[in-house]
Structure 1
Amino acid sequence: MSKRNKKHQEHEEHADESWLLPYSDLMTLLLALFIVLFGMSSIDAQKFEEMSEAFKSVLTGGTSVLDQNAMTSNTNTSMTEGDNDTAKSSELMNQKNQLMRQEQENLEALKKQLDDYIKKNGLVDMLDTKLNQSQLMITISDNALFPSGEAEVKPDARILAKAIATMLQEFPDYEVIVSGHTDNIPISNHEFASNWDLSSVRALNFMKILLLNDKLDPKKFSAIGYGEYHPVASNETNVGRAQNRRVEVSIIRKYQEGDQQIGMPATH
């Protein structure tokens, strides 16, 4: 065989095979794609996420189509949840506003009953009512309820307590706080060692008469003695001291602005 023919045969035996490399890469990518598509119908969410990450790395190292779909799904879910939360919040606010309006009507009706009773029985100088953002308060002068320096409720005051209890029974769900107050003149006798003792026993005794009405729930009632420490007027005059000697019956609101429920009467 001639030298020329031998070179020709060597050239044919070593033909250019560089096209195999991109071909094998393409086959690898197609195989990965088919595996992922097959797995979408049968694997759980965690495995799907792992497969998505692997496929992303094989392709470009960037965000894959699968990740984009997942992100879109998460965004739609978040938007739906946000809309639901907004709707629930709006519904709760409407319910609260309705309850607040109903409560305002209830307390206004109770105040009117009390005011009518006070006028009818000539008690304007001894009783007063006030409705504010935290409570409906009934203020009763001490001389309408007790002898001077004592805590035993007068017989006439018992009639008043029973009348108040009858009105309260129409609103059984409200918390009621009975508080006793004195002036700053010290008291010390065989029965009471201080104004705190006197105010506490007075509040307790008046509350007990209210609770003679068995339609009232004792769990809703409490008695507090404030002594001389919550005055509403100056203790420098007889008139001021008389105003400070009092018992207050506070019907506490359940619904207020800011979702705050007051558990104690306002500071006086």
Structure 2
Amino acid sequence: MAKKRKQHDEEHINETWLIPYADLLTLLLALFIVLFSSSQIDSKKFEQIARSFSSALDGGTGVFDYQSPFEEESEEPSLNQKIGKNEKKQLQQIQGKINQYIQQENLTGQLKTTLTEEGLLITILNDVLFDSGSAEVRPQDRKLAQEISQLLAMNPPRSIIISGHTDNVPINNSQFASNWELSVMRAVNFMKLLLENKQLDPQWFSAKGYGEYKPVASNSTEEGRQKNRRVEILILPNEPIN
């Protein structure tokens, strides 16, 4: 009888290894749930988690003694960043070409370029294209529009937005009931003149009118009002620029 009891006790003792084994599996499962649920795991986070679980398991060798499976974050720019920088460089080259034209034709008081977060902005200043209250490009300024159209022939093509702007002096004539309508038609008519260049594809162009609502100077002076009466050409990047 005593022999049977001893044999029963030994079998019971031998089964106790299942308890720490089950605890270990539970800890491992918890670890991988944490790892896979994280949106971004780097080597430092992995080491911290590893130390925590190793402490809980009272040390020893195991999976936490191996090198982290997650690669160190590369300091090299990502593909999107490279594309963005390349696109910015291309817009800067276009800007340089346009600036060269401005210098050669002595148009610094009429045209200027600015590289913005939105893209390359070409501003036509000081009522260069239109008579007061009119949306028709003046005959003497058609040549300027045609030359600008040559500068807009790019490969690859880019979306281009033509926008019209006015000062805040009210207008109410037989053609236009507001500055808003005047600005829209100025943008449309200038765009149509650009598109006489068959090198340009109309599908890349659009027109907007902002009226008096995006001034770049104060309307309280004649000089400021002149600056606000303008047409802008926005060349959009094909990829976001950084």
The aligned runs of 1:18-57 (5 Å cut-off) are 18-24=2-8, 26=10
Question: In the alignment, which residue of structure 2 is the partner of 1:256?
Answer: 241
Alpha-carbon distance in 2 for matches of 1:185, 1:132: 28
Q: Is the 8 A contact 2:120 2:236 kept in 1?
A: yes
Question: In the alignment, which residue of structure 2 is the partner of 1:154?
Answer: 138
Question: In the alignment, which residue of structure 2 is the partner of 1:202?
Answer: 186
Alpha-carbon distance in 2 for matches of 1:218, 1:22: 95
Deviations 1:213-248 (A, max 9, x none): 344343432211110111111112211111110001
- Provide closer, same or farther for how the CA distance between residues 28 and 133 of structure 1 changes in structure 2, counting only shifts above 3 A: same
Identity %: 38
User: Which has the higher relative contact order, 1 or 2, with Cα contacts under 8 A spaced 6 or more apart?
Assistant: 2
Question: In the alignment, which residue of structure 2 is the partner of 1:244?
Answer: 228
> Does 2:133 match 1:145?
no
If the length of structure 2 is used for normalisation, what is the TM-score? 0.71
Question: In the alignment, which residue of structure 2 is the partner of 1:223?
Answer: 207
Question: In the alignment, which residue of structure 1 is the partner of 2:153?
Answer: 169
The one-letter code sitting in structure 1 at the alignment partner of 2:220 is: E
Q: CA deviation at 1:138?
A: 0.8
Q: CA deviation at 1:116?
A: 1.9
The aligned runs of 1:65-214 (5 Å cut-off) are 67=25, 71=29, 74=32, 82-83=70-71, 86=73, 93-141=77-125, 143-214=127-198
Q: CA deviation at 1:132?
A: 3.1
- Provide closer, same or farther for how the CA distance between residues 82 and 236 of structure 1 changes in structure 2, counting only shifts above 3 A: same
Gaps of 5+ in 1: 1-16, 31-54, 258-268
Deviations 1:189-208 (A, max 9, x none): 11100000000111111122
Question: In the alignment, which residue of structure 2 is the partner of 1:6?
Answer: none
- Segment drifting more, 61-70 vs 218-227: 61-70
Alpha-carbon distance in 2 for matches of 1:222, 1:118: 24
If the length of structure 1 is used for normalisation, what is the TM-score? 0.65
What CA RMSD, in Å, does the superposition of the two structures yield over aligned residues?
3.2
- Provide closer, same or farther for how the CA distance between residues 95 and 60 of structure 1 changes in structure 2, counting only shifts above 3 A: closer
**Corresponding residue SS for 1:19:** helix
Deviations 1:121-159 (A, max 9, x none): 232221111223432111112522112211112234332
Q: CA deviation at 1:72?
A: 10
